[in-house]
Structure 1
């Protein structure tokens, strides 16, 4: 083995690479359909209303928004029976089964 052979070997503890070149059919990429954002987009101002009357956690359906404060800041979205995630901070919260019937949230 010459000095050049040891320099050209990959750094896999002196062993040659086991990665074989791609054999068989070449990958055919499919074209995307017309991109709706290729022409730009319009901005829209969105408003939301959080009711001041609290409702219990179990009456909310998955996908509904709610807040844990009276001011309506830091919106959450209900994911399933025991879990929600904050839309602002992406921090999840969990409601244990013993408090799901009585915990109140503003929606």
Structure 2
């Protein structure tokens, strides 16, 4: 098995080509990981979520990681882990352009809200 570090462009292509990821967040030293659908654009990942545990935890600690896999032929695969910061796009005037952009990206797929 060959293990290598992906180039930045390879990581970007993998993030753009896929929609399913695992989101990791933590609160009080306890990790939490959940699956989610996302959209990638301009070095940002966009996702929709109802209120719940992950939103509560990310509001408390906005440092997150997202992991995306892609299976290749045979036993080959690629994986990208992105470290970032959670940011909400509230339904307020100052975030309208960002919300509209996220909505346009996510709504390209029928199951974007799942």
Range of TM-score over shorter length: under 0.3
Tell me which structure has the larger Cα radius of gyration: 1
TM-score, with structure 2 as normaliser: 0.25
The answer to which structure has the higher helix fraction is 2
The answer to which structure has the higher strand fraction is 2
TM-score, with structure 1 as normaliser: 0.26
